[in-house]
Amino acid sequence: MSQTASAGMSPAEFAQARIRMVEAQLRRRGISDPLVLKAMGEVPREAFVPPGFEEFSYEDSALPIEQGQTISQPFMVALMLQAAALGRHDRVLEVGAGSGYAAAVAGHIAGQVFTIERHRALAEAARARLRALGLTNIALRHGDGTKGWPEAAPFDAILVAAAGLTIPQALKDQLAIGGRLIIPTGSEGEQLLKRITRSGEEEFQQETLAAVRFVPLVEDADSLTTVLRATAEPLPALHEPSFAQAFDRFGDRRVVLLGEASHGTSEFYRARAAITAHLIREHGFDIVAVEADWPDAAAVNSDIAHAAGARRDAAFQRFPTWMWRNVEFEGFVEELRRHNQDLPADRRVGFYGLDLYNMRGSIAAVLAYLDKTDPGAAKLARERYGCLMPWQRDPAVYGRVALSDSYRACEEEVLAQCRDLFHRQTADGPAWFDAAQNARLVASAERYYRVMYYGGAESWNLRDTHMFETLTQILEQRGAQSKAVVWAHNSHIGDARHTEMGALRGELNIGQLAREHFGDDAALIGFGTDHGTVMAATEWDGEAQVKTVRPALPQSWEAALHDSGLQRSLLDMSGRTDPALAAARLERFIGVIYRPESERLSHYADAALARQFDAYVWFDRTEAVTPLESDARAGMPDTYPFGM
């Protein structure tokens, strides 16, 4: 938490936070208009955020408000106002009042501000805030901002706080000669902030100012539902053979990645099981690789291969146990076991974990392998792993102590152990490969828990890079004809470059790496829902609960799909160029943690669906998974610290 984010701030502390915002977020990033800087330093942003968010008012980010909307990042407000070059006597139109904050800042600069908000509840709340601050030069109405405010035109400046695929002609018509229209425009998932200057009755000059991300204009939201109804294919019930047959179109791919919008939804598990089983039977897929740790998945792999002494019940004992210890997944494992029963070893389907959290299990697996094959090497491995031994049960603690110089040598030791195992390949290929992958996991996990405490994108990128590299090594080990189905969360499966995580936070993921490596030989398939129930916890190591999934927020992909009226559908976006499908909108992400009370901030991010995925599977209403056991056992969560 930053220095501005402390509870119970006084007016004087808020004033100091505004000064710091102006200096750190605005002036240092190129905002130089003295009128803009002065106004931003005077308007109390804390008065425009919902109760409970005041302490975050001066963070360098957008904040959620009612109706699924946001109050824009301070820098973006300043950038647009500076681009508008407002004067003391200007008449300004703002499209998208939201909380009223940007209008208040503009009102401190210009002579008269007219602002329009299409959500009635937002309009009423913004009007009350502006009135409370005594801003009498601002007029606000509820309505469609794309039509402008004709009776108040012409305007010296028009500011639009939502992205349009095209620039509404009505707004251009209402510009005065010399007037400036500042508007974000979106095409195929990319949005650019533009300045349109009217130089004559029919003459306009256009400039591009910056790459941005805004919610869509209402006219685009309305057209999206029409596109979805025309594009989405209704799907039969999950138990019908024709459900899985709808995915035959992806049967020729080398890798099919199947996502999920939560880690606790029954329909997602059952749908992926049906699709995967069909791809195995009809299209020769022989690898199932999942967002789970290698040693836990290895226990399942031994069981479905009918290995002597295999015990899959020993796997996935740590929080969140319901993610893999559920009735839906258990049924899929039994199906894999039956499929493999009469097949020779080289034709059996393999089940593998891609993730890196079970450091303790992987260390034990490496030592067990070396104890059998080379006791001398096992002794050396125990010495090398000695620096990790105290932290095996809680490796996050290792991450903290590793920040000191005394633990930095541990990295060299675990990397040396990993290199040694990869250089000693024996005739016992499967056993060696298992040990080598466990050694890789330990090395990756050691680095992951070290960099986690520095923040930023590095730890996420390390984790997803590890998962993708594990996938490619499995494919290589299984041979050139092998084909893989991957199960992971949408945040890992959808191409990160076309989401907020990649565009704004510099994060990559498995989906992006798969497209870069396999090209058209990879299919990225997301899953989503509008409402129902989900198995999730409220906090780390918390109790598993069946939680109600709220209906999706307005302006989200989920809300648009719900409005399409289809209960179950497949949206195949391969090769489609519909602008409405390629624009950025809110998308919901629920991990093992679900907090409905802070849903907009905790679980939504912008994404351009048609570029993020090749296809999207929709279930309007969904239900929680059924755990195999009622208790969620304590320990480091498989998905710590992200929940995805």
Measured between alpha carbons, how far apart are the two ends of the chain, in Å?
Answer: 22
Residues 367 and 233 in one domain: no
Give the integer Cα–Cα distance in Å for 323 and 326. 7
Q: Output the CA torsion 300→391→593→350 (10° steps).
A: -20
Please indicate, yes or no, if residue 36 is contained in any of the structural domains.
no
Please indicate, yes or no, if residue 446 is contained in any of the structural domains.
yes
Strand 190-198 and strand 584-588: the pairing is unpaired
Q: Which residue has the tokens 């020993």?
A: 314
Question: Which residues have CB under 8 Å from 72's CB, separation 6+?
Answer: 62, 98, 101, 102, 161
Residues 206 and 274 in one domain: no
Residues 185 and 316 in one domain: no
Active site residue 362: no
Give the integer Cα–Cα distance in Å for 499 and 509. 11
**pTM score, two decimals?**
0.65
Chosen domain end from 476, 508, 535 = 476
Residues 100 and 231 in one domain: no
Domain that holds residue 136: 61-214
SS3 state of residue 555:
coil
Chosen domain end from 354, 369, 395 = 354
Please indicate, yes or no, if residue 35 is contained in any of the structural domains.
no
Please indicate, yes or no, if residue 55 is contained in any of the structural domains.
no
Residues 457 and 539 in one domain: no
Please indicate, yes or no, if residue 42 is contained in any of the structural domains.
no
Chosen domain end from 184, 214, 244 = 214
For residue 152, what is the domain's CATH number?
3.40.50.150
Please indicate, yes or no, if residue 390 is contained in any of the structural domains.
yes
Residues 337 and 362 in one domain: no
Residue 185: the pLDDT is 86
Residues 442 and 365 in one domain: yes
Residues 191 and 252 in one domain: no
Would you tell me how many other CB atoms lie within 10 Å of the CB of residue 210?
A: 13
SS3 state of residue 74:
helix
pLDDT in tens, 307-337: 877 777 778 887 899 999 999 999 999 999 9
Please indicate, yes or no, if residue 15 is contained in any of the structural domains.
no
Residue 626: the pLDDT is 96
Would you tell me how many other CB atoms lie within 10 Å of the CB of residue 142?
A: 16
Q: Tell me which of 6, 61, 72, 266 is the catalytic residue.
A: 72
DSSP 627: B
Residues 492 and 443 in one domain: no
Residue 583: the pLDDT is 79
For residue 503, what is the domain's CATH number?
3.40.1660.10
Residue 362: the pLDDT is 62
Number of domains in the chain: 4
DSSP 265: B
Per-state percent for the chain, helix, strand, coil, to nearest 5: 45, 20, 30
- Name the H helices within 374-428: 375-384, 395-401, 409-422
Residues 70 and 189 in one domain: yes
- Three-state SS letters, 174-200: CEEEEEEEEEEEEECCEEEEEEEEECC
Give the residue ranges of the chain where pLDDT is below 70: 1-8, 68, 187-190, 216-222, 358-366, 369, 377-378, 380-429, 441-442, 444-456, 577, 629-644
The gap from C-alpha 80 to its chain's centroid, in whole angstroms, comes to 27
Residue 423: the pLDDT is 60
Residues 435 and 393 in one domain: yes
Q: Which residue has the tokens 């005077």?
A: 42
Please indicate, yes or no, if residue 537 is contained in any of the structural domains.
yes
Residue 554: the pLDDT is 83
* Contact status, residue 358 vs residue 293, Cβ threshold 8 Å: yes
Residues 534 and 465 in one domain: no
